[in-house]
Structure 1
Amino acid sequence: MNFKAFVKECHEKEVFKNLSIYIVSSWVLIQVFSVIYEPFGLPKISMTYLLLVLLIGFPFYVYLIWRYRLKPLESRFSRRKGLKVTSKSANSAEEIKGLKKRKVHLPGVHFYSPFQKLYFTSLFVITLVSLFSAALIVKANFINQENMSAFTFPEEPDNDRIAVLPFENNTTDPNMDVVGKMAVDWIMHGITQNKVGQVISPQVVEDYTKVLKATLVPTGENGVLKEYLKPSKVVTGTYYLKDGRLLLQCSVLDGNMNRTLVSFEITECDADSPLDCIEAIKQRVLGYLDSKGMAQLALEETPPNYTAYKLWLESDALLELQSDEQLKYINEAIAADSSFFKPKIDRVAYYYNRDQFAVADSLLQVLAAETGTKKEQLNMIQHYEACFKGDNRTAYRTYQEEYNVAPIEIELNLSTMVLALQFVNRPQDVDSIYAAIPKNDFDLDNCISCEYRYFVKGMANLELGKVDETIELLEPYARTAGQEWIKEVLMKAYVLDEDHAAVYELLQHIRLLGRIDYWQLMMLKTGLEYLKTGDETNANRYFDDVLAYQEKRGNLLTPAEKELSAEITFYKKDFPEAEKRIEEVLTESTNEIPMLSFLAMSSHKNGKDEKAKQTLERIENLRAKYQFGEVDYALARYYVFTGQDASALDHLTKAVAAGKRFTSTTFQNDVLFQSLRSSERFKKILTFWY
């Protein structure tokens, strides 16, 4: 029987009709289930289970069609017609040929016909296709997943995450919004300080809602919580006014927010003293969450002044905007309550982040002198003290304690990644920190911190030799309008992968976007990456393009462009011209120590050893506090350039001990130190903080 005849017979025996019943029914079931699974509280993975069942069940259904519909027809055919045809009664060659193809048996013995052979052959193919499709689903949804607990059906997530949602203001007075914020903050601090669980704050939920792409999770607060953050419990509440009194109510829900675990009695207090209600509610929440009855400790020694707390909230909101107005509100909060610790440590951070280290350090010393024995406060002070001393190991260790409280908070997670990679050069730690936030699809246009997480993860990958993984992670952002940090790492990966066409296209795309200053900087960095691989031809190609562009601009070059031009000329080994250009930009350079190092190296190459020596003395005379090894690093570059490897390694050791950071352009990533990479002393420098 040929295939056309087989299809015709299937049609006559209503095989396709029965198959369509299964397919249509399955489709309807999938559509209905996609609508009802969430209201029933089923996990998203349940849809995958349903697809697997329908796929695997299809071959069984095809067999059942044969067993109960087609086989009886074949049996009647054998009894009615098949036994009449024998070798003696066959009247034609066609009947004899058909007889050979059909094995006719007595009742109870297997009966084979051409139709049955093709039917079971088709069933075999359908079975293979179904199993292959099921295997793909299993691989995509189970084998490649890091957290297999996501595929179970727990009544409640089995973890210690506790989400604290905003308390609803039902007073109709917008000025009372601060009461809800204070209640949330107070409960969160109580949970973290008593180590009751891992807190998911309203800010975390808001950040995830903003930066996660719409296709990833359902929109809204509840969708992010249930589908992504997956807490085990959710604390929520409301408050209102009655006869001049503030009434505050609080409940604890399960992780799916469809069952109330406990609803506390309403707490009442004076409307002008909301902390009385908030403290009482906090005690009840902690008492429920922690049956051990530990002594209740908050971030502060005592609750802050209500006015001070409102001012601090204003300063905290301005922190995200990096506004200079933040300092004003910080100082006002401290003035309103001199015992309020949080704005004081925020003031230290404000000056530290703006490189005003002397001011920040003096404020920290004052704060340390007036701080008691509170472990959490002392840990924060110790962290900043280590930063000012260049003690990167202690800075990393103390910050890890903060990170362990809320590892999924984006800002906290990012800062720990930066400390691991740039402070102590432990790229092997970055992966686990990065993975603490579940596999994500952030909208980087709305999340600068998310972009920098990709940058740090990519740099760590390159340090560990994971070039292909880096390209796979970052390549989707090669043609975007922003994400400049990501493009730098992607360029490095392309160079290491020897994909010269991809490097060129990436740089051309950057230039077309109109960010000419950034394009020039990236051209320099690209040239340096090629020099690190020993490819001077491609390096000079990028250097020359920048110099040609700058030549057209003539006298319109900015100081930054002139400085970049001097560096490029140096790396092109045109030392007479480099010396000239460096001297021209030194008077207005913001990078005096590095530029003096370039000048000393150029002077040495030009045979002006006395001038080089005088330049080194100028660098030495620039030593000051809070430089974190910058002078010794500049001297190390000079000595390795002049072939004095032992002196270079001595100064590199001093630089790293003083807190010099491991960035994308220092130590192992500095083109001048490539000749030292195989040195045991250099390897020890890279692991100095281990």
Structure 2
Amino acid sequence: MNLKDFIKECHEKEVFKNLSIYIVSSWVLIQVFSEIYEPIGLPKISMTYLLLALLISFPFYIYLLWRYRLKPLETRYKNRDGIKVTSKSSDGPEDENGLKKKKVHLPGVRLLSPFQRMYFSALFVISLVVLLSASLIVRANFIEQEDMSAFTFPDEPDNDRIAVLTFQNNTADPNLDVIGNMAVDWIMHGITQNKVGQVISPQIVEDYTNVLKAAVIPSEENGVLKEYLRPSKVVKGTYYLNNGRLLLQCSVMNGNMNRTLVSFEQVECDADSPLDCIENVKQRVLGYLGSRGTKIIGIEEKPPNFNAYKLWLESYDLQQIQSPDQLRTINEAIAADSSFFRPKLDRVAYYYNRDEFAIADSLLQVLAAETGTKREQLNMIQHYEACFKGDNRTAFKTYKEEYNSAPKEIEMNLSMMVLALQFVNMPQAVDTIYAVIPQEDFDLDNCISCEYRDFVQGMANLELGRVAETIEMLKPYANTAGQEWIKEVLMKAYVLEGDHAAVADLMEHIRLLGRIEYWQLMMLKTGLEYMKTGNKAEAMKYLTGVTAFQEQRGRQLSQSERELQAETAFYMEDYDRAGALLEALLPDSDDPLGMKTYLAMAYLKNGEEEKAQNAMLEVSEMRSEYQFGEVDYNLARFHAFKGEEEVALKYLLQAVAAGKRFTSTTFHNDYLFQPLKASPEFRKVLNFWNEG
């Protein structure tokens, strides 16, 4: 088929007519859209999107035209004409001429007509032209476009402008209009005084409306706000009387006034004392506006009183510097707003973090009884309940749900890291959590939480065998004052790296800073780290060094220093001396479980097995609430020291099941358990909470 015949057949089959319908319809759509896209708030780039969609759809339309209109015509044509064939057995022209022509249809075989071949060839060419045109449009409007804001659809205004509209008087008494004016003035004053945002008053809205009307521009209150003033939020309210009582309602809407962000509880007061209602509403409005964008607003049943919120912010800041005044401000925030959930939860955390578990648990039970049905609140209560029960997996799971809602909040991020490492022993999870907040975002000299994050990340690195990476990350802390937790991790990394000079320099720096008791502890820990690597000679340098210092000080040593002295003697295998020191120290010790266990092990080595057994019997009888496996852990240490590995592993499993944490000195980091580390049963202990 030639081109002339193809065009003729297209005319006969109304191909051009159908194509013209698509082209004309597209043209009309483009003309209409060019007039309406701006009034309905779409960006200019919307026209480009539409043009691309119509252009790319054109080849599909041509194919659909064939599929549903032309193909049926072709099929009917074939059925009518059939296919002429001859018999394969015919011997000559006479036989062929004698055969009767008949229609043959071949199942499953498509026979392309000349028109169909020409049609799809034209479709292929058109598709290439469309693709080329579309690529040029994309390149001109997207790839080479410098102003990327052209592609964004308009969002709600993102600014600090807050419009306060006139409160509607539904009392039917115009003399009470003054209440609405008072409410607006009171709220605007609170916003300005507390620097919550920039206020747009009803007077400003009215002035703009009057100017626009004078300019013969259609306008109304909503239009002026959305098109010209563009606040991020709008405060509006209404009030009415009921049996002599004033009822005041208020809500906050988004800047486009098409969605209510929060509707506050109705406030009721004496009609002669409207300021009581107005002050209550103001506090709720300011509490919402001030806390908007922070995690706190998501956990509250309703926005907090603003004074209470300010006190909570103060307590949060005090927590960062570990100020003793934190508890005072928490209690003041609760007193200012008894429905404020967050400070009540913080009070539980305050006592929990100081190991005052009985107080924390009793406060949690009171809080649980007060709490309604809000999922976030119930989740956090369940988290702390799991903590008190030693159910580390549930504690991790429930906090993770909370963490996912605000992963960049530093305290929440740090807590999630601690839970991953110390509660469920998942050092690999710490990496992901740590990376959420870039380290350059912080002033490390004024951020205690940042130090803790580096400590936890450093410990996780060591658990994963990344010693060099740990040194690279923590080396800047080597010569600073403070950051004691980090220096412990750095010491461990230096020991594992075999950098004895760096270890010695670090210990000397700590000694020169004057924290003598901390230096003694670090000397003992350094000796133990070397003993874990099998370098007993290097270990003894640090153990004998701290022992000589302690002997020189004699009676000047404090209780905690004498306990360190006893532990050092124990690990130096001077069991006679260790036993004598421990016997004298035990009555005043703050750690009777640990000290008695050391004493029992000293008795064992001194051949006083009956005394050792009696001491451990006393340890076993020291069980009480909120120990989180401490008794079983000390029993495991004793039996591991005695060489009874199977019994030790049994107690270790009980200890971890009761909530004993994985720290820098427990389980696989405990020198006494080094002989057990290779056993499958010990790995089961380490993976107890992260299995399944």
TM-score band w.r.t. shorter chain: 0.5 to 0.7
Aligned to 1:484: 484
Q: Does structure 2 conserve the Cα–Cα contact (< 8 Å) formed by 1:530 and 1:538? A: yes
What is the root-mean-square deviation in Å for CA atoms of aligned residues? 3.8
Aligned to 2:582: 582
Q: Does structure 2 conserve the Cα–Cα contact (< 8 Å) formed by 1:445 and 1:482? A: no
Q: Determine if the alignment matches structure 1 residue 554 to structure 2 residue 577.
A: no
User: For 2:231, which of 242, 263, 266 is the aligned residue?
Assistant: 263
> How far does residue 316 in structure 1 lie from its aligned partner after superposition?
3.7
* Correspondences of 1:22-37 after superposition (within 5 Å): none
Aligned to 2:400: 400
What is the letter of the counterpart of residue 267 of structure 1? V
Aligned to 1:106: none
For 2:484 and 2:307, the matched residues in 1 are separated by 41
For 2:388 and 2:602, the matched residues in 1 are separated by 33
User: For 1:238, which of 198, 217, 226 is the aligned residue?
Assistant: 198
Closer, same or farther in 2 for the Cα pair 1:601/1:164, shift >3 Å?
Answer: farther
* Correspondences of 1:43-58 after superposition (within 5 Å): none
Aligned to 1:536: 536
For 1:176 and 1:582, the matched residues in 2 are separated by 68
SS of residue in 1 equivalent to 2:440: coil
For 1:446 and 1:439, the matched residues in 2 are separated by 13
> How far does residue 176 in structure 1 lie from its aligned partner after superposition?
8.9
> How far does residue 360 in structure 1 lie from its aligned partner after superposition?
1.2
Q: Does structure 2 conserve the Cα–Cα contact (< 8 Å) formed by 1:308 and 1:333? A: yes
For 2:553 and 2:258, the matched residues in 1 are separated by 66
Closer, same or farther in 2 for the Cα pair 1:436/1:265, shift >3 Å?
Answer: closer
> How far does residue 299 in structure 1 lie from its aligned partner after superposition?
3.0
Q: Does structure 2 conserve the Cα–Cα contact (< 8 Å) formed by 1:576 and 1:606? A: yes
What is the letter of the counterpart of residue 478 of structure 1? A
For 1:379 and 1:593, the matched residues in 2 are separated by 34
* TM-score, with structure 2 as normaliser: 0.60
Percentage of pairs with the same residue: 59
Q: Determine if the alignment matches structure 1 residue 629 to structure 2 residue 597.
A: no
Closer, same or farther in 2 for the Cα pair 1:673/1:568, shift >3 Å?
Answer: same
Q: Determine if the alignment matches structure 1 residue 357 to structure 2 residue 394.
A: no
* TM-score, with structure 1 as normaliser: 0.61
Deviations 1:538-577 (A, max 9, x none): 1111011111111221211111110101000000000000
SS of residue in 2 equivalent to 1:405: coil
What is the letter of the counterpart of residue 239 of structure 1? V
> How far does residue 268 in structure 1 lie from its aligned partner after superposition?
5.5
Deviations 1:553-609 (A, max 9, x none): 121111111010100000000000000111122122211111111000000000111
> How far does residue 440 in structure 1 lie from its aligned partner after superposition?
2.7
For 1:401 and 1:654, the matched residues in 2 are separated by 28
Aligned to 1:449: 449
Q: Which of structures 1 and 2 has the larger relative contact order (alpha carbons within 8 angstroms, sep 6+)?
A: 1
Deviations 1:112-138 (A, max 9, x none): xxxxxxxxxxxxxxxxxxxxxxxxxxx
Aligned to 1:611: 611
Q: Does structure 1 conserve the Cα–Cα contact (< 8 Å) formed by 2:389 and 2:659? A: yes
Closer, same or farther in 2 for the Cα pair 1:263/1:377, shift >3 Å?
Answer: same
Aligned to 1:475: 475
Q: Determine if the alignment matches structure 1 residue 677 to structure 2 residue 677.
A: yes
For 2:151 and 2:360, the matched residues in 1 are separated by 43
* Correspondences of 1:65-214 after superposition (within 5 Å): 155=149, 179=191
Aligned to 1:601: 601
For 2:528 and 2:201, the matched residues in 1 are separated by 66
> How far does residue 680 in structure 1 lie from its aligned partner after superposition?
0.5
> Aligned pair count?
460
For 1:157 and 1:617, the matched residues in 2 are separated by 74
SS of residue in 1 equivalent to 2:383: helix
Q: Does structure 1 conserve the Cα–Cα contact (< 8 Å) formed by 2:156 and 2:232? A: no
SS of residue in 1 equivalent to 2:299: coil
What is the letter of the counterpart of residue 579 of structure 1? G
Aligned to 2:686: 686
For 2:528 and 2:338, the matched residues in 1 are separated by 52
For 2:189 and 2:620, the matched residues in 1 are separated by 56
For 1:578 and 1:374, the matched residues in 2 are separated by 55
Q: Does structure 2 conserve the Cα–Cα contact (< 8 Å) formed by 1:540 and 1:572? A: yes
Closer, same or farther in 2 for the Cα pair 1:282/1:345, shift >3 Å?
Answer: farther
> How far does residue 502 in structure 1 lie from its aligned partner after superposition?
1.4
For 1:657 and 1:242, the matched residues in 2 are separated by 63
Aligned to 2:645: 645
Deviations 1:59-105 (A, max 9, x none): xxxxxxxxxxxxxxxxxxxxxxxxxxxxxxxxxxxxxxxxxxxxxxx
> How far does residue 308 in structure 1 lie from its aligned partner after superposition?
4.1
Aligned to 1:434: 434
SS of residue in 2 equivalent to 1:267: strand
For 1:354 and 1:408, the matched residues in 2 are separated by 25
For 1:300 and 1:548, the matched residues in 2 are separated by 57
> How far does residue 370 in structure 1 lie from its aligned partner after superposition?
2.6
What are the ranges of 5 or more consecutive residues in structure 1 without an aligned counterpart? 1-151, 185-236, 246-259, 290-296
Deviations 1:127-165 (A, max 9, x none): xxxxxxxxxxxxxxxxxxxxxxxxx9954999xx99998
For 1:405 and 1:473, the matched residues in 2 are separated by 28
Deviations 1:311-356 (A, max 9, x none): 4444444433434443344334434443332222222122212211
SS of residue in 2 equivalent to 1:681: helix
SS of residue in 1 equivalent to 2:199: strand
SS of residue in 2 equivalent to 1:525: helix
Q: Determine if the alignment matches structure 1 residue 416 to structure 2 residue 416.
A: yes
> How far does residue 656 in structure 1 lie from its aligned partner after superposition?
0.3
SS of residue in 1 equivalent to 2:588: coil
For 1:560 and 1:610, the matched residues in 2 are separated by 28
SS of residue in 2 equivalent to 1:587: helix
What is the letter of the counterpart of residue 612 of structure 1? A
Q: Does structure 2 conserve the Cα–Cα contact (< 8 Å) formed by 1:459 and 1:664? A: yes
Aligned to 2:499: 499
Closer, same or farther in 2 for the Cα pair 1:326/1:479, shift >3 Å?
Answer: closer
SS of residue in 1 equivalent to 2:475: helix
Closer, same or farther in 2 for the Cα pair 1:338/1:484, shift >3 Å?
Answer: closer
What are the ranges of 5 or more consecutive residues in structure 2 without an aligned counterpart? 1-145, 165-184, 206-227, 239-245, 263-296
What is the letter of the counterpart of residue 403 of structure 1? Y
* Correspondences of 1:56-67 after superposition (within 5 Å): none
Aligned to 2:71: none
For 2:632 and 2:351, the matched residues in 1 are separated by 25
Q: Does structure 1 conserve the Cα–Cα contact (< 8 Å) formed by 2:156 and 2:254? A: no
What is the letter of the counterpart of residue 659 of structure 1? G
Closer, same or farther in 2 for the Cα pair 1:578/1:444, shift >3 Å?
Answer: same
> How far does residue 276 in structure 1 lie from its aligned partner after superposition?
6.8
For 2:195 and 2:661, the matched residues in 1 are separated by 40
> How far does residue 621 in structure 1 lie from its aligned partner after superposition?
1.8
> How far does residue 383 in structure 1 lie from its aligned partner after superposition?
0.7
What is the letter of the counterpart of residue 596 of structure 1? K
> How far does residue 288 in structure 1 lie from its aligned partner after superposition?
9.3
Aligned to 2:523: 523
Aligned to 1:570: 570
> How far does residue 463 in structure 1 lie from its aligned partner after superposition?
0.5
For 1:497 and 1:261, the matched residues in 2 are separated by 63
